Each structure stands twice: as structure tokens, then as C-alpha cells.
Structure 1
Amino acid sequence: MHWITTTHIAVTWMLVGLIWVVQILVYPQFSRVAARDFPEYHFAHCFRIALIVVPQMFVEAATAVWLLHEGIRATPFLISAGLILVVWLSTAVFQAPTHIRLMRKFDASLIHHVTLTNWIRTLAWTARGFLVSFALS
């Protein structure tokens, strides 16, 4: 297996694992933080999680482009590449704006919103994991 393929599969599955931890553990814990402490707590969360997620998202996208450039055209891989766009759009449209609002103050309805809309990314990344494993292994 080509190192780009291995890297792509590995980073995709790292993101799958990470998004499930965020969805099942991290976001539900937001409501347990005292309102007065929440902005500082949430800012720290966003800063630290970005250090982990952002580089991986760029590696995932770059290796997908590289594989497309190399001529990988299996239908499962093409679908998985489209799901990268779903993840990025969901991040830009739902998660990022909601997190920015949550940095200002605790808001239970916004926590519910970010948790609910994060299912888009959770399911898209999970599907990507299976699709790239099938298409590239």
C-alpha cells in the first residue's frame, strides 16, 4: 500500500475516533460546567481541540486530493471525498459559528444545537472511515 493511501486511511480513522469522543463525551459535559466558568472553559476547549483537529483535517483533505490526482476513482472513494466537503461545510455553517457564540456565554440551547448538528460530522466521518477502508485497502 502506498504511503499516501496509508496516511489517508489512518488520519481518517483518527478523526472518526476523535469525533465520537467529542460527540459522546465532550459536548454532553459542556452543560456540567458552571455558567460563570463556561466562557473560559469553552475557549480552552476550542483552542486545544483545534490543535488536534485542524492539522488532521488538512492532512485528510490533502491526501484525498493527492489520491484523486493519482487517479483513484473507485466509487466508494469518490463518495468519501464528497463527505470531506460535508464535514467542512458543517464545520463552517454550524459548528464554528455556534462555538464562537458559546465563547461569550453559557447557553444550553446553543450546546444542544452544537451537539445535534455535530451528528452531521460524526456520521459523515464514520461513513468516510468505512468507505476509504473499503476503497483503498
Structure 2
Amino acid sequence: MKILFLLQLVSTFYMVGLIWFVQIVHYPLFALVGRARFTRYQQAHQLRTTFAVGPMMLTEAATTIAIVYWPPPGMGSAFTWTGVGLLFVIWFSTALLQVPRHHVLASRFSPSHLRRLVISNWVRTIAWTARGVLLLIYLFQVFPDQ
């Protein structure tokens, strides 16, 4: 079951790093693309982002579910279910907040939707960071002398 934890650790930290890059660099730079090229840029962004995030998000989700059934030694249910809850926050935020704004931006540039995208993305940024912290706490509990 340690392999599940390691896969979760890798996939979660990949997403933690990526979400901070997106939050601080990528999304704010959308405003500099310009109206004339924005929809084409946004459409390309959506396609390419799917390839960059899809496999890791699915790996993270699969290992989170698997860990509910086969938790690593010493991982209590409160710890496990907190991770599940944070993942639900991330996926619901993605589906209900970010994806609809991306769809609008794929059809037209909208400064208000762009602002709301950047602001609402803090939900995912905080939740993924919290998942990372949670996994580090478990890691240091399992390997305290490392």
C-alpha cells in the first residue's frame, strides 16, 4: 500500500506545483494576450492543459479512492477522509467554477470572467496546497528520522 501513497504523493505535488504556477503566473498573463488573439489562445490553452493535468488528476483521484480501501500503515480514517474532502473541493471547484469560465473565455474575451477565474482558482490552490501539507505530515509520521 506504500506504492499507493507514493503515487498519491507524486501526483499531488505535481498538481501543487502546477496550480501555484497557474495561479501566480499563467492565469494573470491571460490579460496580456489581447482581444484579437484571445479566443484562439484560450482554446489552445484548454486542449494543452488537458494533457498536462489530466493524467495526474486522474492518478491523484484513483490513489485517493484506493487509499480509502487500502490505507497505508498508520494512516487513520480522519486523515484519509480529509484528503478525500479536499479532493472533492478541488474537483467541484474545477467543474463548477473554473471550467464554465474557461468555456466563456474560449468564445470571447471577458475581463470579468478572467478576473473571476483568477479569484475562484484560489479555492483549488488552497485545497491542493492543503492536500500537499496533509501528505507531508503523514510522510514525516511514517519516516520520522528521514
TM-score (norm 2): 0.89
- Does the 8 Å CA contact 2:101/2:117 hold for their aligned counterparts? yes
Tell me which of the two structures has the higher relative contact order, counting C-alpha pairs closer than 8 angstroms and 6 or more residues apart: 1
Quote the residue 2:22 is aligned against.
22
Q: Distance in 2 between matches of 1:28 and 1:51?
A: 21
Within 5 Å, give how 1:112-123 maps onto structure 2: 112-123=115-126
- Render the CA deviation track for 1:75-130: whole Å, top value 9, x for unaligned: 23321221000000000100001100000111111100000000000000000001
Task: In structure 2, give the amino acid aligned to 1:20.
Answer: W
Task: In structure 2, give the amino acid aligned to 1:58.
Answer: L
- Does the 8 Å CA contact 1:74/1:135 hold for their aligned counterparts? no
Q: Please list every run of 5 or more consecutive structure 2 residues that lacks an aligned counterpart in the other structure.
A: none
Quote the residue 2:49 is aligned against.
49
Counterpart selection for 2:114 from 75, 90, 111: 111
Report the identity percentage.
Answer: 37
Quote the residue 2:65 is aligned against.
65
Q: Distance in 1 between matches of 2:128 and 2:54?
A: 14
CA RMSD of aligned residues (A): 1.3
Q: Distance in 2 between matches of 1:74 and 1:68?
A: 8
- Does the 8 Å CA contact 2:97/2:117 hold for their aligned counterparts? yes
Compute the displacement of 1:50 (Å). Answer: 1.0
Compute the displacement of 1:26 (Å). Answer: 0.5
Task: In structure 1, give the amino acid aligned to 2:87.
Answer: I
- Does the 8 Å CA contact 2:64/2:83 hold for their aligned counterparts? no
2:5 pairs with 1:2:
no
* Structure index of larger Rg: 2
Q: Please list every run of 5 or more consecutive structure 1 residues that lacks an aligned counterpart in the other structure.
A: none
Paired residue secondary structure (1:106)? coil
Q: Distance in 2 between matches of 1:123 and 1:76?
A: 17
Paired residue secondary structure (2:15)? helix
Q: Distance in 2 between matches of 1:133 and 1:70?
A: 19
